[in-house]
Structure 1
Amino acid sequence: MEQELEQAQAIYKLITEFFITYSFQIVGAIIVLAIGIFVASKISNLVIKLCEKKNIDVTLSRFIASTVKIIIIVMVAIIALGKLGISVTPFVAVIGAMSLGAGLAMQGLLSNYGAGLNIILARPFVVGDTIRVQGVAGQVKEVHLAYTLLTDEDNVEIIIPNRHIVGEILQNSHNDTLAEEIIGIAYSSDTNKAIAVIQASLAKIDNISQERAPLVGIDDFADSSINIGIRFWAPTNCYFETKYQANAEIFDALKKANITIPFPQREVRLLKEE
């Protein structure tokens, strides 16, 4: 019992001496770290505001601000460790060894981060663009270092790891998506009139892009009809709504103009044997 008391007293004495000796260093390190984190947050916010004034992409702005904040916090942490009299050299060696092991274990994750950095710097697309890659398409909602988040008109979110974007064939149609339609009219109908009616119908739809004007023309000569091809650009966030509205408007306009939309026909002849 006496031995245990002596051990407890020795531990208490050791802890007391430690706090008496290093209390000011500990308090100083905590103050330095707190001030550093506060300053890093302020500088990060200033960087974002500066990037907004320079009209820099929001994704790139956030990346630059986050990088600046991390660098400042790391520098302040090194200063705080110095206040405690702790040498950072062994930590650097340990971090290097851990980084090597982590790099081998997380090659896929690191490749995503590398690809994300490439996307942020090269900017093949930005938030709000409509992209198609790896067989999926959607409007870019967020770009992170590890992945890119897409969304569609139904608010379905699609997460694509960045390594599946960089180095692949990428289609970027910016804010809009191309709609392609084919309408068959009878061979006896006036094609010029039909094309004019369709163009007038598309002009009534507000959401259809006028920067890239709709295209209407003869697409094919089918068995039972002349096929009129229609191509127009609609905002990705209301693509189907615009497409269905255009189809209804075109159908009603053709009907009022007495332009026939024929159904498939086939002529069959029966031959009698003599």
Structure 2
Amino acid sequence: MDQPNLDLELAQLQNAYSLITEFLVQYSFQLVGALLIFLTGLWVASKVANLVTRLFEKHEIDITLSNFTSNLVRIIIIVMVAVICLGKLGISVTPMVAAIGAASLGAGLALQGMLSNYAAGVTIIVTRPFVVGNTIEVSGVNGVVSLIKLGQTILTNEEGEQISIPNKLIIGEILHNSFEYKLVENTLNIDYQADTAAIITIIEQAISQSDNVNKDQKILVGINGFNSIGIELGMRYWVPTEHYFQAKYQTNQQVMLALKQARITIPCPVREIQIQH
């Protein structure tokens, strides 16, 4: 290697060494101070987040909202500490804040649907129109609430299907909450000459003897209407949502057996056909 080139490289190394040494001498205290502030900020963020979680647990506020709030508090504190550390190092955060604001606006517009779901999820958790285990009907679907997330609510039905509903489709809609039970409505016809009071009593006793029927809710059996076949009786009773169809079919079977034992027949439609020669 030529001597001039070697001298040039040595000079470059000397300049680099001088710059690093000067930087460390000038900014060493700022670097150490910024590092200490950041580590302290992480510790404070963790402590405050845990404090928020304990406060939410003390007041028995939903765990989903508790986790969301504590994480949000932790992030806010860390961001504030990071800004302080950058200022300690002499780095201007104004352009960065402007860039973050512009990026946040763009991201907010792009994720508008997701953010509205999160806002609706917070509303559901705070107002508690339903909780896990309730039976709800909303947006044309129904099932048992198995999980409430910030973005969506998960329902399950008797077939084991999982139904995910975005939370924004729940808030502002007509919501039916029957808690853990669901209403069964049935009708049957009896003859106009039959003793309606006796038959109503037989049906009520058959329904009340079913193990699947909720006894805390009043069982209703009565005359629902009149038609060309006969007198239409209506039945209303509540069964557990998780076993809705099973309970309904078993109760219907018990009603039919009770009517059969009482020798009560259900009239069938009769059509007259005239054949012209």
Which TM-score applies when normalising by structure 1? 0.80
User: Contact between 2:35 and 2:85, CA under 8 Å: does it hold in 1?
Assistant: no
Aligned to 1:250, which of 237, 252, 255?
255
Question: Which residue does the alignment assign to 1:49?
Answer: 57
Q: How many residues align?
A: 266
User: Contact between 2:41 and 2:77, CA under 8 Å: does it hold in 1?
Assistant: no
Question: Which residue does the alignment assign to 2:199?
Answer: 194
Equivalent position amino acid for 2:80 in 1 = I
1:221-264: per-residue Cα shift (whole Å, max 9, x none)?
23233221111122212211211121111111111111112332
Displacement after TM superposition at 1:64 (Å):
3.8
Equivalent position amino acid for 1:99 in 2 = S
Name the CA shift for 1:174/1:28 in 2 (closer, same or farther; >3 Å).
Answer: same
User: Contact between 1:44 and 1:69, CA under 8 Å: does it hold in 2?
Assistant: no
Displacement after TM superposition at 1:164 (Å):
1.8
Matched, 1:260 2:265: yes
Question: Which residue does the alignment assign to 1:39?
Answer: 47
Question: Which residue does the alignment assign to 1:72?
Answer: 74
How far apart, in 2, do the equivalents of 1:246 and 1:159 lie? 31
How far apart, in 2, do the equivalents of 1:95 and 1:167 lie? 33
Name the CA shift for 1:118/1:15 in 2 (closer, same or farther; >3 Å).
Answer: farther
Equivalent position amino acid for 2:81 in 1 = I
Name the CA shift for 1:211/1:5 in 2 (closer, same or farther; >3 Å).
Answer: farther
**Percentage identity across paired residues of the two chains:** 40
Displacement after TM superposition at 1:35 (Å):
2.2
1:19-46: per-residue Cα shift (whole Å, max 9, x none)?
9926634652563254245424532441
User: Contact between 1:32 and 1:80, CA under 8 Å: does it hold in 2?
Assistant: no
Displacement after TM superposition at 1:180 (Å):
0.7
How far apart, in 2, do the equivalents of 1:47 and 1:41 lie? 10
User: Contact between 2:49 and 2:74, CA under 8 Å: does it hold in 1?
Assistant: no
Displacement after TM superposition at 1:216 (Å):
0.5
Displacement after TM superposition at 1:197 (Å):
1.0
Displacement after TM superposition at 1:268 (Å):
3.7
- Computing the radius of gyration from Cα coordinates, the structure with the larger value is 2
Displacement after TM superposition at 1:123 (Å):
3.2
Name the CA shift for 1:14/1:243 in 2 (closer, same or farther; >3 Å).
Answer: farther
Displacement after TM superposition at 1:217 (Å):
0.7
Displacement after TM superposition at 1:206 (Å):
3.1
User: Contact between 2:38 and 2:85, CA under 8 Å: does it hold in 1?
Assistant: no
User: Contact between 1:45 and 1:65, CA under 8 Å: does it hold in 2?
Assistant: yes
How far apart, in 1, do the equivalents of 2:34 and 2:144 lie? 50
Aligned to 1:114, which of 119, 122, 125?
119
User: Contact between 2:203 and 2:259, CA under 8 Å: does it hold in 1?
Assistant: yes
Name the CA shift for 1:6/1:185 in 2 (closer, same or farther; >3 Å).
Answer: farther
Aligned to 2:138, which of 133, 141, 148?
133
Question: Which residue does the alignment assign to 1:159?
Answer: 164
> Which blocks of at least 5 consecutive residues in structure 2 are unaligned?
none
Equivalent position amino acid for 1:62 in 2 = T
Give SS of 2:124's match: helix
Equivalent position amino acid for 2:259 in 1 = L
How far apart, in 2, do the equivalents of 1:231 and 1:9 lie? 93
How far apart, in 1, do the equivalents of 2:46 and 2:222 lie? 63
Name the CA shift for 1:175/1:4 in 2 (closer, same or farther; >3 Å).
Answer: farther
Matched, 1:144 2:152: no
1:188-218: per-residue Cα shift (whole Å, max 9, x none)?
4322111111111111123322333121011
User: Contact between 2:45 and 2:77, CA under 8 Å: does it hold in 1?
Assistant: no
1:116-140: per-residue Cα shift (whole Å, max 9, x none)?
2333333333332222222111122
Over aligned residue pairs, what C-alpha RMSD do you find? 3.1
1:93-120: per-residue Cα shift (whole Å, max 9, x none)?
3322111111222222222223323333
1:39-70: per-residue Cα shift (whole Å, max 9, x none)?
24532441342132xxx4x3xx5314421332
